[in-house]
């Protein structure tokens, strides 16, 4: 498996993977407002361009998962295709951006679905569950310096 930056020509495929996985695993925890707000974000070219995207690709160059960071310290997206869950792909994506992060910490606004996954990595809650524009999340942080 190769973890590398997603090329501009691959961005459409990456965002389709994010949307597909969101609908399957995250959307059941959200209202229609939250689902629409998430879609609006990933459809916003300026929102996308303000983030760095990395993908996990198999030996046939098939995209299996995506991570996106903002300012290298905030994880904005972390999605792995359902059939590849529990195979360490999310961890490998996280490890890639961790290597690039010289600040020594990450923040994330974790969805309810991913909350336990982030805890497993070592993130801790910095506040209680919140809901903004229908998007439910737990603010979290990890320090690794």
- Encode pLDDT of 71-104 as tens digits: 999 999 999 999 999 999 999 999 999 999 999 9
Give the chain's mean pLDDT.
96
Banded model confidence at residue 145, pLDDT cuts 50, 70, 90: confident
Banded model confidence at residue 32, pLDDT cuts 50, 70, 90: very high
Q: Which CATH superfamily is domain 2-103 in?
A: Gcn5-related N-acetyltransferase (GNAT) (3.40.630.30)
- Encode pLDDT of 37-71 as tens digits: 999 999 999 999 999 999 999 999 999 999 999 99
Per-domain boundaries in the chain? 2-103
Q: What is the mean pLDDT of residues 15-31?
A: 96
pTM here? 0.95
Banded model confidence at residue 117, pLDDT cuts 50, 70, 90: very high
Looking at the predicted structure, is the pLDDT value of residue 12 above 90? yes
62 backbone dihedrals φ, ψ, rounded to 5°: -85, 130
- The burial class, CB within 10 Å (0-12 / 13-18 / 19+), for 69 is buried
pLDDT of residue 24: 96
Q: What are the distances in angstroms from CA 145 to CA 52, 90, 122?
A: 22, 21, 13
């Amino acid at each position: 498996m190769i973890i590398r930056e997603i090329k501009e020509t691959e961005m459409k495929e990456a965002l389709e993977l994010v949307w597909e996985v969101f609908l399957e695993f995250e959307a059941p925890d959200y209202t229609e407002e939250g689902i629409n707000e998430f879609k609006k974000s990933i459809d916003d070219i300026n929102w996308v361009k303000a983030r760095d995207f990395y993908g996990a690709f198999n030996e046939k160059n098939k995209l299996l998962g995506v991570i996106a960071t903002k300012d290298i310290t905030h994880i904005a997206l972390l999605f792995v295709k359902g059939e590849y869950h529990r195979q360490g792909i999310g961890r490998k994506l996280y490890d890639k951006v961790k290597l690039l992060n010289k600040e020594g910490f990450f923040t994330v606004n974790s969805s309810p679905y991913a909350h336990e996954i982030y805890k497993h990595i070592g993130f801790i809650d910095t506040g209680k569950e919140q809901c903004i524009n229908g998007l439910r999340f737990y603010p979290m942080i990890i320090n690794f310096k």
